[in-house]
């Protein structure tokens, strides 16, 4: 297997863990977004969107995963850490990737309305910032989109 194929296989395996966390969010009535933070092939942080339950506007999946990773690493710098998240991060979360000096971001579906890693902005790769994040988008994007679609269809059906 080529290095590239091995990387893709590893990315998909971690993204499946993020998708499973998105399902946990959906089960709680939250918009289904999940994330894992990985260092040296080990998961060091997990999170899923829990904004309503926590009553906290910052309880986005990738922020929670990064905060848990920072605790595991024992520092606020997340050098060497990759975050896998099922949806393109918003401006807050993309800014947080830069703040935490994250090495790499892998995301699933794009978010044309609020995404800040290619859609509305390119915050993670802006050369004016003091840190840039390596980005891979579109990993298991369809699986992420399906979950979001099912969630919002369910919301409309209940109204």
24 assigned to active site: no
Which of 25, 26, 31, 78 touches a second copy (CB under 8 A)?
78
Binding mask 94-133 for a second copy (x = CB under 8 A): xxx-xxxx-----------xx-x---xx-x--x-xxx---
Compute CA distances 22 → 2, 9, 80, whole Å.
30, 20, 24
Compute CA distances 40 → 36, 81, 93, whole Å.
13, 8, 23
Nearer to a second copy, 78 or 140 (CB): 78
Nearer to a second copy, 8 or 132 (CB): 132
Distance of closest approach, residue 153 Cβ to a second copy, in angstroms: 20
Measured distance between the N- and C-terminal CA atoms of the chain, rounded to whole angstroms: 50
If you ran DSSP here, which 8-state letter would residue 43 be given? Answer: E
Among 115, 149, 52, which Cα is nearest to 107's? 115
Binding mask 34-63 for a second copy (x = CB under 8 A): -----------------xx-xxxxxxx--x
Q: What are the tokens at 6?
A: 């091995």
Catalytic member of 4, 24, 62, 88: 62
Distance of closest approach, residue 68 Cβ to a second copy, in angstroms: 11
């Amino acid at each position: 297997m080529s290095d590239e194929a091995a990387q893709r296989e590893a990315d998909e395996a971690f993204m499946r863990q993020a998708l499973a966390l998105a399902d946990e969010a959906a089960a709680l009535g939250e918009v289904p977004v999940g994330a894992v933070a990985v260092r040296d092939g080990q998961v060091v942080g997990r999170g899923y969107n829990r904004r309503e339950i926590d009553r906290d506007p910052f309880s986005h999946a990738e922020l929670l995963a990064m905060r848990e990773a920072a605790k595991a690493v024992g520092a606020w710098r997340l050098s060497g850490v990759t975050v896998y998240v099922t949806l393109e991060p918003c401006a807050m979360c993309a800014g947080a990737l830069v703040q935490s000096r994250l090495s790499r971001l892998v995301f699933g579906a794009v978010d044309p309305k609020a995404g800040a890693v290619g859609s509305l902005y390119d915050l993670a790769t802006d050369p004016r910032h003091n840190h840039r994040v390596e980005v891979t988008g579109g990993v298991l994007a369809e699986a992420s989109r399906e979950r979001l679609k099912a969630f919002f269809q369910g919301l409309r059906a209940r109204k």
